[in-house]
Amino acid sequence: MEFVSLNKVITYAPSSRDELIEYAFNHQKILVAINAEKILHATDESRAIINRNLGYPDGIGAVWALRKKRFFNVERIPGCELWLDIVKKYYQTKSFYLIGSTQKTIDETIKKLESDFQGINICNYRNGYIKSEIEETELIQDIVKCQPDIVFVAMGSPKQELFMMRLQQCHLALYQGLGGSFDVYTKTVKRAPQWWLRHNLEWAYRLVKQPLRIKRQVHLIRFFYKLHLNHY
């Protein structure tokens, strides 16, 4: 097992997806996607959340930072692919609970999962709009009752990580935060074509499609500059 500090963000440097999945499942960890933005803008709070759990290289910036630390075999593991790798690996033997996105999207996600992975055991699911402490308490009680092996939460960071940490106090399982992965899975949001993915240019494709992202992407220049100077 290799863990690396990137701006004091502890990140796992897996040589394969299977290695990451098996470690997370065996240790009942919360999987947290790490990218350049999370490394660059790390705060004491965000570091604490990540370092108590299992950060993995979701973005190419995190991969480059790990390779700069001489972990040359590390691979990029997009969260929107990782959760489906987990489903594929365990759908015949483990149970699942899904939380997140709109009601329409989560309904479509469940329908597609049941079609793509026939026989999958989905204990229960609900949308990601939890409007009161009562709703959250009822959800936690249902998760405790269902005892799922794997819980996926798609709410966006850091909200989903904070929520999963509260869930974990009541029920141990493998947890993964998914951001907008349900929207990608149901094709509500279109992902970059394969050429862009193969060349690690998904960030550039998003920028082309959403020019306003330049306000976020400009920070990557600072990240790469600091990386070049060995500041991480």
Q: For 125-148, how does the pLDDT look when each residue is reduced to its tens digit (9 = 90+)?
A: 999 999 999 999 999 999 999 999
Note the pLDDT tens digit of each residue in 47-74: 999 999 999 999 888 998 999 999 988 9
Give the residue, 160 or 2, on which the prediction is more confident: 160
Q: DSSP 3-state assignment of 192?
A: coil
Work out whether the CA dihedral 142, 135, 106, 190 comes out positive or negative: negative
Would you list the domain boundaries of the chain? 1-77+194-232, 80-173+185-191
Most confident of 6-10, 138-142, 198-202: 138-142
Does 211 score more than 70 pLDDT?
no
Note the pLDDT tens digit of each residue in 155-192: 988 899 999 999 999 999 999 999 999 999 999 877 66
- Six-digit token pair at 38? 């999370």
Give the residue, 191 or 39, on which the prediction is more confident: 39
Q: What is the CATH number of domain 80-173+185-191?
A: 3.40.50
Residue 95, Cβ neighbours under 10 Å: how many?
18
Give the residue, 231 or 166, on which the prediction is more confident: 166
Residues 6+ apart with CB under 8 A from 98: 106, 109, 110, 122, 125, 126, 151, 152, 154, 182
Residue 197 has what pLDDT?
67
- Rounded to whole angstroms, the Cα distance separating 90 from 120 reads 9
Cis peptide before 211 (omega within 30 of 0): no
Note the pLDDT tens digit of each residue in 67-114: 999 998 898 999 999 999 999 999 999 999 999 999 999 999 999 999
Does 41 score more than 90 pLDDT?
no
What is the model's pTM?
0.87
Residue 119 has what pLDDT?
97
Give the residue, 141 or 198, on which the prediction is more confident: 141
Per-position DSSP letters for 66-133, written without gaps between them = HHHTT-TT-----HHHHHHHHHHHHTTT-EEEEEES-HHHHHHHHHHHHHHSTT-EEEEEE-S---SH
Residues 6+ apart with CB under 8 A from 48: none
Residue 195 has what pLDDT?
76
